[in-house]
Amino acid sequence: RTAARAVDLAKIYGTGDTKVVALGGVTVEFTAGRYTAIMGPSGSGKSTLMHCMAALDSSTSGQVFIGDTELSELDDRELTRLRRDKIGFIFQAFNLVPTLTARENITLPLDIAGRDIDKDWFDTVIATVGLADRLGHKPNQLSGGQQQRVACARALVSQPEIIFADEPTGNLDSRSGTEVLSFLRRSVREFGQTIVMVTHDPNAAAYSDRVLFLADGRIVDEMTDPTAEKVL
Ligand code: ADP
Ligand code: ADP
């Protein structure tokens, strides 16, 4: 099954002298239950690809499907609902609400949507991410690694079709980074989650099943079952 795919996806910024082809026609498929890393030099289009796939940014041409739904067929309200129900996000900067506890941050998207929280699933996610004794803490009472694990739990708790992670370990020391990457890996293995992760770090990419390499807005190479040595 395909969790998400892009067909000839292009994104052009500006016009004339300031025109930048951020994506030059990308076709890619993200199979359900697989973990994909996206690598490439700064400016190669990694963020743009992820933002267009995640319905955070519109493309210039081409198509994006989340499950069977093509994004351009949706109006703004339907797009908001799709982002909320079908997509999980993990950002480099954690993006937690500072005044809320870990538990409240994790359930916030479901609370806003008025959706019930499946208690067994919530407990499973919390146990897997190792936060059971931190649920009452505010973000400033948590380490960077713990904050990112809260963000991971928040992304996972709504059981999204796909999770997009933008440099999830970029602000973390290597030990905290490893904890976050191990959790993402287990989410794929144990829960069948689909993950797409942008990273600069070959050690992080090695946790994935497949690495896509971008250059100048195109996929130029692909590797399955990566190791850090192979990615370098
Ligand atoms: P990466 O994530 O690989 O660093 P980006 O997707 O951020 O690459 O950027 C791809 C290209 O698009 C770069 O040349 C960048 O300068 C350009 N770009 C990205 N966002 C914008 C924007 N909002 N306006 C103009 N150019 C942009
Ligand atoms: P990264 O390489 O970590 O993706 P960037 O510096 O490429 O970070 O982009 C950070 C943000 O700035 C992105 O949201 C991108 O859309 C925006 N951006 C990047 N390049 C440009 C640009 N030339 N003009 C306007 N916005 C840009």
pLDDT tens per residue, range 176-201: 999 999 999 999 999 999 999 999 99
Nearest Cα residue to 82 out of 107, 64, 61, 94: 64
Taking the alpha carbons of 94, 117, 31, 49 in that order, is the dihedral positive or negative?
negative
Residue nearest to atom 1 of ligand 1 (CA): 43
State the average pLDDT for the chain: 95
Ligand 1 centre to CA of 179 (Å) is 30
Among all ligands shown, which has an atom nearest to the Cα of 167? 2
Residue 232 is predicted with a pLDDT of 85
* pLDDT value, residue 148: 94
Q: Is the ipTM of this complex over 0.85?
A: no
CA of 48 to the centre of ligand 1 (A): 6
Which whole-number Å values give the CA distances from 172 to 89, 118, 167, in the listed order?
A: 17, 30, 10
User: pTM of this prediction?
Assistant: 0.88
CA–CA distance, 70 with 196 (Å, rounded to integer): 18
Q: Token digits for 110? A: 């479901």
Polymer length of the chain: 232
- 47 within ligand 2 shell (Cβ under 6 A): yes
Beta carbon of 18 within 6 Å of any ligand 2 atom: no
Please tell me whether residue 137 adopts helix, strand or coil conformation.
Answer: coil
Cα–Cα distances in Å, from 27 out to 23, 49, 70, 84, 122?
10, 11, 14, 25, 35
